[in-house]
């Protein structure tokens, strides 16, 4: 299976300006804070863009920075600090495997390598069918449950032996086929 990696792709062409409906949602978030603290809405604005477009491009970071009166680098720092923000398009299922030291000592890397083989992609890549993106993750706060992973930033999966990983992948693939049927 071929795969795509997003690390070496050229910056995408500028997209259309933010839609009015998105700007309205920004305004509702900003209204929750005093004028002097409107930058506190940055995470919400990033989440709104990601929900709408699947990821947060550099262009969108700049637009959010301008909207909130922030330096673009300050917005970029937020986007790059939190794993949940996608800086590139990702697959339908984003699999984040924890490989921090405590997990490394308890098969975290084994799980990552197993998924790489199983999906035919390397860490950071997306399968050619656009279903899976595989990423490393920082500590997910469940070191005792290693190997652990997070699916789409929400669903925590613990004690992920190779068998359980296989079952998970099959289940997720099956859900995609079910949707297509």
Q: Are 151 and 94 in contact (CB under 8 A)?
A: yes
Decide if residue 97 touches ligand FES (CB under 6 A): no
Does 148 contact ligand FES by CB under 6 A? yes
**Region of 2-10, 47-55, 140-148, 157-165 interacting with ligand FES (CB under 6 A):** 140-148
Q: Is 83 in the site for ligand FES (CB under 6 A)?
A: no
Quick count: other Cβ atoms within 10 Å of Cβ 114?
A: 20
If one asks whether residue 115 binds ligand FES (CB under 6 A), the answer comes out as no
The residues facing 93 across adjacent strands are 132
Shortest CB 172 distance to ligand FES, Å: 21
Q: Does 74 bind ligand FES (CB under 6 A)?
A: no
> Does residue 146 belong to the site contacting ligand FES (CB under 6 A)?
yes
CA distance 72 to 26: 17
| Spatial separation of the C-alpha atoms in residues 121 and 132, rounded to whole Å | 9
Report in angstroms how near the CB of residue 94 gets to ligand FES at its nearest: 17
Closest to ligand FES by CB, 107 or 116: 107
Q: Which residues contact 163 (CB under 8 A, 6 or more apart)?
A: none
Residue with tokens 């409906």: 21
Q: In what order do the strands lie in the sheet with 3-5?
A: 3-5, 125-127, 132-137, 93-98, 149-151, 155-157
Nearer to ligand FES, 100 or 152 (CB): 100
Q: Please list, in sequence order, all residues whose beta carbon lies within 8 angstroms of the beta carbon of residue 10, skipping any fewer than 6 positions away.
A: none
Q: Using the rule CB under 6 A, give the single segment among 30-38, 57-65, 134-142, 161-169 that binds ligand FES.
A: 134-142
Which residue, 53 or 107, has its beta carbon nearer to ligand FES?
107
Counting contacts by CB under 6 A, is residue 103 touching ligand FES? Answer: yes
Residue 100 within binding range of ligand FES, rule CB under 6 A:
yes
**Whether the Cβ atoms of residue 37 and residue 27 lie closer than 8 Å to each other:** no
> Site residues (CB under 6 A) for ligand FES?
98, 100, 102-103, 139-143, 146, 148
């Amino acid at each position: 299976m071929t795969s795509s990696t997003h690390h070496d792709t050229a910056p995408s062409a500028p997209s259309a300006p933010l839609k009015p409906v998105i700007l309205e949602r920004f305004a509702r978030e900003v209204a929750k804070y005093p004028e002097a603290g409107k930058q506190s809405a940055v995470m919400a604005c990033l989440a709104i863009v990601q929900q709408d477009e699947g990821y947060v491009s550099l262009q969108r970071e700049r637009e959010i920075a301008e909207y909130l009166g922030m330096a673009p680098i300050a917005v970029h720092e937020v986007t790059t600090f939190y794993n949940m923000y996608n800086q590139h398009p990702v697959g339908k299922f984003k699999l984040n495997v924890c490989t921090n030291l405590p997990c490394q000592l308890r098969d975290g890397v084994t799980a990552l390598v197993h998924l790489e083989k199983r999906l035919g992609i390397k860490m950071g890549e997306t399968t050619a069918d656009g279903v899976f993106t595989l990423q490393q993750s920082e500590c997910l706060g469940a070191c005792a449950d290693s190997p652990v992973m997070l699916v789409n930033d929400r669903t925590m999966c613990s004690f992920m032996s190779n068998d359980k990983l296989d079952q998970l992948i099959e289940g997720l693939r099956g859900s995609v086929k079910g949707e297509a049927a």
